[in-house]
Structure 1
């Protein structure tokens, strides 16, 4: 009996993992696989990973095979501060232009398409690329970066470009929060190992609550050492994220899925 836990390799997921008793979980034959969202999404869909954080879009693609874990998510009410469109021109001038998309995430890529094509009625072409700001913008007019890649690029080179926060753009158009990642378990794993799934789930919840209770300290001090940036930025970053998945967060995500369905129908006309 064992469970493989997917751990997104970005700082925004850390509150759920920072206080896990990894030794205790290891004794219960749990192991951790740290990867970017796109890799974890694939691992969950193929059964190589049993439980953990995945892109919201990946859940939608596999909803019949996954069960959502209650009250856990990475959500923003407005600016998320780690998902940016870097553009050489204002957003409204991107019609007919080329955008490079990170290969690291599915949710943010599709959210950008909804914003650009549905909200702003722009026609653009896309290229999937590894997350490297300079390489992406070498032959493209704009690029999408997420997670720590986006935070670092914004800090070091953001002043050179028009920077658009996708969480903020979504909130401006909908008035709803945007859930970028959810926690899910494969139905087969839940069926075969319900007690162990419960232990892992409670561990996620306990870590989240402890992180929130002490305002993400000393986690943030560790992040400054490993990722750089000012402590004030990271303090604000985590305080502005929502780690819950209640009615309001579910409503925002449901609306995103509705718009995606409309966008797909429009694209196939």
Structure 2
């Protein structure tokens, strides 16, 4: 039985995967499945993927079934640079508006609802759509895009719309970091393949370490070939992201979950984060 690793198909997760020795992991009976967050969330919940980066909201929805890996996350302390609300009018004037939501991620969708409904007390309606800015804004006042879709849209539309960075808005109102993606493992897989998951975890950590040590330079050079844009943008983008998942990142995530529960977007309260202790794994 293999361990199936989910890989979010966005650039913000690349530091954890760029330097992985995939062939070695495949020899150890691991396989990789790249998908957008919403697909990975569903596959993890269905037991089709065992471990990998998933939306933070997906963990909250399965907190009794998943365990989090420490020291690994996609977090921002302020602007995240790839999760934007594009609006035809200022945010404060969006009362009674219809917002088009990307179908790609649950974490960012629910973060937007916290910001608009809780922080700004706006009453809104929502429509979930495929992520395409022009199509989304045909019949809607604003739209949410994430990941590479958001980066490209921001680059192409420039100042045509009011553009709000959700990481920036969250930090402005809470003073806490926002963790958009976590690394989680299904409890059954953790029980059955503890040693192998230890190897997978150490591989993620090593790739993260090498990415940071290299200042993301080699990775950015490859991104420029596949995604375009300016090198200065990508350098700033990755340096604005936090790859850790320590006490402060966990505090911000717990507050996000608390607000979601208060607002009725989570059916079960996440009282504690179930975080794995890899020190107990025999190498």
What's the TM-score bracket when you normalise by the shorter of the two chains?
over 0.9
Q: 2-side partners of 1:179 and 1:64: how far apart?
A: 19
Number of aligned residues: 267
- SS of the residue corresponding to residue 180 of structure 1 reads strand
Corresponding residue of 1:42: 42
User: Unpaired runs of 5+ in structure 1?
Assistant: none
- SS of the residue corresponding to residue 96 of structure 1 reads coil
Q: 1-side partners of 2:18 and 2:154: how far apart?
A: 25
- TM-score normalized with structure 1 length: 0.98
Contact 1:86 1:158 in 2 (8 A): no
- SS of the residue corresponding to residue 139 of structure 1 reads coil
Deviation of the 1:124 alpha carbon: 0.8
| Bigger Cα displacement from structure 2, 256-265 vs 48-57 | 256-265
Check if 1:120 corresponds to 2:132. no
Check if 1:138 corresponds to 2:134. no
Contact 1:78 1:171 in 2 (8 A): yes
- Deviations along 1:5-32, one digit per CA (max 9) or x if unpaired, are 0000000000000000000011111110
- SS of the residue corresponding to residue 48 of structure 1 reads coil
The alignment yields a C-alpha RMSD, in angstroms, of 1.2
Corresponding residue of 2:86: 86
Deviation of the 1:194 alpha carbon: 0.6
- SS of the residue corresponding to residue 96 of structure 2 reads coil
Q: 2-side partners of 1:51 and 1:123: how far apart?
A: 37
Corresponding residue of 2:211: 211
Deviation of the 1:158 alpha carbon: 3.2
- Deviations along 1:22-48, one digit per CA (max 9) or x if unpaired, are 000111111100000000000100000
- TM-score normalized with structure 2 length: 0.93
Corresponding residue of 2:158: 158
Corresponding residue of 1:22: 22
Q: 2-side partners of 1:97 and 1:57: how far apart?
A: 24
User: Unpaired runs of 5+ in structure 2?
Assistant: 267-283
Check if 1:11 corresponds to 2:14. no
